[in-house]
Amino acid sequence: MIARRRPLAPLVPHRRSPARRLVDRLDRTDRTLFAAAARRESPLFDAVLPPLTTSANHAGLWAVTAAALAAAGQRRAATRGLVSLGVASFAANLPGKLTARRDRPGVAGVPQLRQLRRVPSSSSFPSGHAASAAAFTLGVALERPALGLALAPVVAGVAYGRVHVGVHYPGDVAAGLALGVGCALFVRSRWPARPHGERAAAARATVPALPDGEGLIVVGNADSGDGSARAMVDALLAELPKAEARLVEGDLRPALREAAREARVLGIAGGDGSVNAAAAVALRAGLPLVVVPAGTLNHFAAELCITGVEDVARAVREGTAAACTVGRAADDAVDPEQELVFLNTLSVGVYPELVAGRERREDRLGKWPALAAALPGVLRHGHPIAVRLDGEPRLLWLLFAGNGPYRPAGFAPSWRPRLDDDVIDVRLVRADVRLARTRLALAVLTGRLGRSRVYEQRLRGSLDLVLEESNGHPRLARDGEIGDAPRDLRLHVAPSRLAVYRPAD
């Protein structure tokens, strides 16, 4: 028996989906724009763009820019720019390029003068150079808009330069720019920038006006920050010729106590740790304090809106100051020489270990690379601490205490709206919850920290903190400086406020 053959079905043209047709249309437009850019003749672009865009390889251009910003006193802007760049570089080079595989454009139509010696072999989409440039610049702009605006032409040159030298289509660059902007905004959502132009409010303090600086003794920390204390002290003496300065290496406290016995106003040139030491001495002596920002981050000076010597000199000449709350981490009955105060923050748990790990590497790597190098080990090998909070036993990864309410709420406290709120901002990361570190990371990334079981936040007038003996020798971080933590701490505010010179509104 012969089987009957079925007639063949008529051929029907394959219908592409609307999305596929849109992608094909965009691809053709992209290739047309690339060809037009390749044909364009511009001696200026040929001379400038290839070396400019090449300088951004491995974020080299932005690392140099960040170093220059830090040297100019814009450390916070440099840090935000680098953090945003790091997130954008990761997003572009791993999920971005691995998800959207696209061949690089051919360079046959690109003049030989423009072509790079080595054409990248990774996916063309998106442009990592464009993403890094946009993320770094927007990160800087969120802290200092004028600086971001000044960098905008450089971003445009780096981004268009990728098309000009023939290694990216225009669409790759546009996607990279959008990705970089998105990453910088993501970083801002997790680490909000202080509202630009605002300073922390505080009640006015009555202090003497010193038109020529007579009665002011400034102790400078020669080891602080990048070593700029000497230059800043010299600049201050040029503004206030009758002031006295003493530059110190090592322990500042003896020099501060001696100066407090002789001075009408005590001054300190250094970072937050140096200011902390001077504040304890000034508060005990009943003297007003002058702060000259010569450290790495200068958080307290930034809260006062003191950016340089000119601000300090103007406040001293005019006699304007803020009355600032001082946090205490010990009972009033302790030896005054061992009194623990904090102007900004205090913490126990994994953060002090992170800072200690950074300090071990800082001489070889620099501050921020050392911090990044220390982070994986601390997260992997860190141990929770057993404490008693007002008599209640707790197991914590971290306890943060701020001198006054910090903003924003959540895991990245960045600034204070006031410097005279007599409360302690207490934030806890619990370790008695399963997968606490993983859950914390997910809560931070998804913006649901306020609903997470591993995180607690409260404002307190005081808090009794006992570190159990099972912790071994825990560390304590106060205003960025690390030391051994006493077993018994009582977090509260000092009964009197500290008068700190700052320019008038």
- The alpha-carbon radius of gyration of the chain (Å, integer) is 28
pTM of the model: 0.71
End-to-end CA distance of the chain: 105
Name the band, by pLDDT with cuts 50, 70 and 90, for residue 498. very high
CATH 2.60.200.40 fits 345-493, yes or no: yes
Q: What is the pLDDT of residue 26?
A: 75
Q: 315 or 14: which carries more pLDDT confidence?
A: 315
- Residues above pLDDT 90, as percent of the chain: 41
pLDDT 10s digits, 51-81: 898 898 988 899 999 988 887 778 778 888 9
Question: Is residue 422 scored above 90 in pLDDT?
Answer: yes
Q: Tell me which residue has tokens 């003191």.
A: 306
Taking a C-beta distance cutoff of 8 angstroms, is the pair 294, 220 a contact? Answer: yes
Q: What is the pLDDT of residue 17?
A: 67
Q: Where in the chain is the domain with CATH 2.60.200.40?
A: 345-493
Measured CA to CA, the distance from residue 467 to residue 386 in angstroms comes to 6
Name the band, by pLDDT with cuts 50, 70 and 90, for residue 392. very high
Mean pLDDT of all residues in 121-139: 90
Give 48's contacts (C-beta < 8 A, 6+ positions apart): 157
Q: What is the pLDDT of residue 13?
A: 56
Q: What is the pLDDT of residue 43?
A: 84
pLDDT 10s digits, 95-119: 877 777 788 887 767 777 787 777 7
Q: What DSSP element (H or E) covers 289?
A: strand 289-293
203-325 in CATH: which number? Answer: 3.40.50.10330
Name the band, by pLDDT with cuts 50, 70 and 90, for residue 247. very high
* β-pair type (265-270, 216-221): parallel
Q: What is the pLDDT of residue 442?
A: 67
Taking a C-beta distance cutoff of 8 angstroms, is the pair 483, 475 a contact? Answer: yes
188-202, 284-298, 406-420, 474-488: lowest mean pLDDT where?
A: 188-202
Q: Where in the chain is the domain with CATH 1.20.144.10?
A: 32-190
Region for 288 from its dihedrals, namely left if φ exceeds 0, alpha if ψ lies in -120 to 50, beta otherwise: beta
Measured CA to CA, the distance from residue 171 to residue 29 in angstroms comes to 9
Q: Residue 502, Cβ neighbours under 10 Å: how many?
A: 25
Name the band, by pLDDT with cuts 50, 70 and 90, for residue 388. very high
* β-pair type (345-349, 385-389): unpaired
Transcribe 426-477 into DSSP letters.
EEEEESSSTTHHHHHHHHHHHT-GGG-TTEEEEEES-EEEEE-GGG-S-EEE
Question: Is residue 9 scored above 60 in pLDDT?
Answer: no
Measured CA to CA, the distance from residue 176 to residue 189 in angstroms comes to 20
170-179, 194-203, 322-331: lowest mean pLDDT where?
A: 194-203
CATH architecture of 32-190: Up-down Bundle (1.20)
Map residue 386 onto helix, strand or coil: strand
Q: What is the pLDDT of residue 316?
A: 97
User: Phi/psi of residue 198, each to 5°?
Assistant: -95, 150
CA distances from 320 to 203, 259, 265 (A): 11, 21, 13
Q: What DSSP element (H or E) covers 500?
A: strand 498-501
Task: Report DSSP state, residue 106.
Answer: P
Name the band, by pLDDT with cuts 50, 70 and 90, for residue 4. low
Cis peptide before 126 (omega within 30 of 0): yes
Mean pLDDT of all residues in 249-253: 89
Question: Is residue 318 scored above 90 in pLDDT?
Answer: yes
Q: What is the pLDDT of residue 292?
A: 95
Q: 215 or 193: which carries more pLDDT confidence?
A: 215
Measured CA to CA, the distance from residue 293 to residue 268 in angstroms comes to 8
Question: Is residue 23 scored above 70 in pLDDT?
Answer: no
Q: Where in the chain is the domain with CATH 3.40.50.10330?
A: 203-325
Q: What is the pLDDT of residue 234?
A: 93
- Tokens (6 digits) for 131: 């993403």
Q: 18 or 202: which carries more pLDDT confidence?
A: 202
pLDDT 10s digits, 261-313: 999 999 999 999 999 999 999 999 999 999 999 887 788 998 898 988 999 99
